[in-house]
Structure 1
Amino acid sequence: MIDYLNNLIARICDRSEQLHNGQTTGWQALREAEQLANHAYIPLLYQYIEQESDKEKRRAAGYIITQLSRNTNDTEVIRFLLDRLRTEQDADMQTAIQQDLERGLPIPGYMNLDPLFNNTLSNNNNVRRSALLALRQTSNPAVEDWALSLLKRTVNEYDVYYLALLLNKVSTRKSLPALRRLLEYHRQDVKSLAFATIADIEKEKESLFYTRCLLRGQLKFEAMEAIYKYADENAIQAVTTRIMELLSKRRSDTRMTIETVKNGFTDLMLGMEFLFRFRTAKADIKKTFSWIKEKKADYLLPEEQEWVRRHMVEFP
Structure 2
Amino acid sequence: MIDYLTNLIIRICDRSEQLNNAQTISWKALREAEQLANHAYIPLLYQYIASEPDKEKRRAAIFIITQLSRNTNDPEVIRFLLDQLRMEQDTDMITAIQQDLERGLLIPGYINLEPLFNNTLSQNNNIRRSALLALRGTHNPAVEEWALSLLKRTVNEYDIYYITLLLHKVASQKSLPALKRLLDYHRQDVKSLAFATIADIEKEKEALFYARCLLRGQLKFEAMEAINKYADETAIQPVITRITELLSKRRSSARMTMETVKNGFTDLMLGMEFLFRFRSVKADVKKTFSWITEKRADYLLPEEKEWVRQHLAM
Give the TM-score range, shorter chain: over 0.9
The one-letter amino acid of 1:117's match is F
Asked if structure 2 preserves the Cα contact closer than 8 Å seen for 1:259 and 1:265, the reply is no
Matched with 2:124 is 124
Matched with 1:151 is 151
Q: For the residues of structure 1 that align with 2:156 and 2:53, how far apart are their CA atoms?
A: 35
Asked if structure 2 preserves the Cα contact closer than 8 Å seen for 1:259 and 1:267, the reply is no
Q: When the two structures are aligned, how many residues end up with a matched partner?
A: 314
- Are residues 1:60 and 2:60 paired? yes
Asked if structure 1 preserves the Cα contact closer than 8 Å seen for 2:221 and 2:260, the reply is no
1:263 Cα deviation from its structure 2 partner:
2.6
The one-letter amino acid of 1:32's match is E
**1:258 aligned counterpart, secondary structure:** coil
1:18 Cα deviation from its structure 2 partner:
3.1
Matched with 1:51 is 51
The one-letter amino acid of 2:132's match is L
Asked if structure 2 preserves the Cα contact closer than 8 Å seen for 1:139 and 1:170, the reply is yes
Q: Which moved more, 1:251-260 or 1:55-64?
A: 251-260
Asked if structure 2 preserves the Cα contact closer than 8 Å seen for 1:259 and 1:266, the reply is no
Q: For the residues of structure 1 that align with 2:284 and 2:261, how far apart are their CA atoms?
A: 31
The one-letter amino acid of 2:122's match is S
Q: For the residues of structure 2 that align with 1:258 and 1:284, how far apart are their CA atoms?
A: 31
What is the percent sequence identity of the aligned residues?
83
Matched with 1:138 is 138
- Are residues 1:212 and 2:203 paired? no
Matched with 2:40 is 40
Deviations 1:179-204 (A, max 9, x none): 00000100000000000000000111
Q: For the residues of structure 2 that align with 1:254 and 1:220, how far apart are their CA atoms?
A: 19
The one-letter amino acid of 2:256's match is M
Over the aligned positions, Cα root-mean-square deviation in angstroms equals 1.2
Matched with 1:228 is 228
State TM-score, norm by structure 2: 0.98
Matched with 1:267 is 267
Q: For the residues of structure 1 that align with 2:284 and 2:307, how far apart are their CA atoms?
A: 19
State TM-score, norm by structure 1: 0.97
Q: For the residues of structure 2 that align with 1:29 and 1:253, how far apart are their CA atoms?
A: 40
Deviations 1:125-166 (A, max 9, x none): 000000000000000000000000000010100000000000
Matched with 1:174 is 174
Matched with 2:300 is 300
Q: Which moved more, 1:299-308 or 1:44-53?
A: 299-308
Matched with 1:114 is 114
Deviations 1:33-74 (A, max 9, x none): 111111111110011001101111100000000111111111
Q: Does the C-alpha gap of structure 1 residues 74 and 255 become closer, same or farther in structure 2, counting only changes over 3 Å?
A: farther
Q: For the residues of structure 1 that align with 2:128 and 2:219, how far apart are their CA atoms?
A: 29
The one-letter amino acid of 1:215's match is L
Q: For the residues of structure 1 that align with 2:261 and 2:45, how far apart are their CA atoms?
A: 37
The one-letter amino acid of 1:153's match is R
| Consecutive unaligned residues in structure 1, runs of 5 or more | none
1:176 Cα deviation from its structure 2 partner:
0.4
Q: For the residues of structure 1 that align with 2:260 and 2:33, how far apart are their CA atoms?
A: 31
Asked if structure 1 preserves the Cα contact closer than 8 Å seen for 2:183 and 2:194, the reply is yes
1:262 Cα deviation from its structure 2 partner:
4.1
